[in-house]
Amino acid sequence: MPCRVSGLLEQTVAHGAAGRADSEVNVDRRGPVNGSVRVRSGSMTLKKRGKFQYGDSQEDIRDELLRYGKKNKHAAHHFADAICKCGGKLFGLSLDDNEGAAVRTCVGCKTEHAIGDSDEFLEEAELEECACPCGGEAFEITIGVSLYEDSEDVRWLYLGCRCPKCGLTAVYGDWKNEFNGYKKLLKRV
Ligand SMILES: [Zn+2]
Ligand SMILES: [Zn+2]
């Protein structure tokens, strides 16, 4: 994880580990995956400061998923924003991008939800909790999917977050996610 800011994250661990079921397994925090990527800033609202992109609203996550998807050769075609059944839009996020599994936890009501088809892969997954380099651990979450040509079937999933504390907007995980029917998958964001 080349973009991890270790000083900040050590502090985060110190106050953040209490009460988490998996804290003894994973005390590290996962950072954005695209921090070291140099990019052209062509978007209207996404602003680049240092090596990161910063956005003003959750919609900016989509621009970041588009940008990242193009680099990955699997363009993101469709998107969905995570909203808890309580209406909450801020979540803690844990993921394992080797297994292709992510779980979001609503900051407001603590409801946990496995994103997309993650529930099928949780057994093997070693979830890492995500943290922004600023120390923030509550995110707006938007997923994007790339489809096979002339098909409604999914080939790749991108998971993007925006930290409302500092605005940092980044992809935190992406993986090959074969799924028949993207609408069904996006409903489970
Ligand atoms: Zn909730
Ligand atoms: Zn932040």
Residues 141, 189 contacting (CB under 8 angstroms): yes
Distance in Å, CA 20 to ligand 2 centroid: 21
pLDDT number for residue 51: 83
The bound ligand whose nearest atom lies closest to the alpha carbon of 132 is 2
pLDDT number for residue 19: 38
Is residue 41 scored above 90 in pLDDT? no
In a domain, residue 111? The reply is yes
Quote the DSSP letter at residue 45: S
- What are the φ and ψ backbone dihedral angles of 94, each rounded to 5 degrees? -125, 140
How far apart are alpha carbons 64 and 23 in whole angstroms? 30
Distance in Å, CA 137 to ligand 2 centroid: 8
What is the pTM assigned to this prediction?
Answer: 0.80
Full DSSP string of 52-91: EEE-SSTHHHHHHHHHHHHHTTS---EEEE---TTS---E
Instruction: Taking residues 36-59, report their average pLDDT.
Output: 72
Is residue 131 scored above 60 in pLDDT? yes
In a domain, residue 103? The reply is yes
- Which residue type occupies 172? Y
Is residue 28 scored above 60 in pLDDT? yes
In a domain, residue 155? The reply is yes
Distance in Å, CA 184 to ligand 2 centroid: 31
Distance in Å, CA 91 to ligand 1 centroid: 8
Distance in Å, CA 139 to ligand 2 centroid: 9
Instruction: Taking residues 61-87, report their average pLDDT.
Output: 96
Distance in Å, CA 128 to ligand 1 centroid: 21
How far apart are alpha carbons 91 and 100 in whole angstroms? 18
In a domain, residue 1? The reply is no
The bound ligand whose nearest atom lies closest to the alpha carbon of 55 is 2
- Interacting residues of 7 by C-beta distance below 8 A, sequence separation 6+: none
In a domain, residue 127? The reply is yes
pLDDT number for residue 33: 87
In a domain, residue 11? The reply is yes
Is residue 15 scored above 70 in pLDDT? no
The bound ligand whose nearest atom lies closest to the alpha carbon of 49 is 2
In a domain, residue 58? The reply is yes
Distance in Å, CA 180 to ligand 2 centroid: 34
pLDDT number for residue 20: 37
pLDDT number for residue 48: 84
The bound ligand whose nearest atom lies closest to the alpha carbon of 111 is 1
How far apart are alpha carbons 141 and 143 in whole angstroms? 7
Distance in Å, CA 159 to ligand 1 centroid: 19
Confidence of residue 44 (pLDDT cuts 50, 70, 90): low
Total of domains in the chain: 1
pLDDT number for residue 119: 96
Residue 158: domain span: 6-187
The bound ligand whose nearest atom lies closest to the alpha carbon of 89 is 1
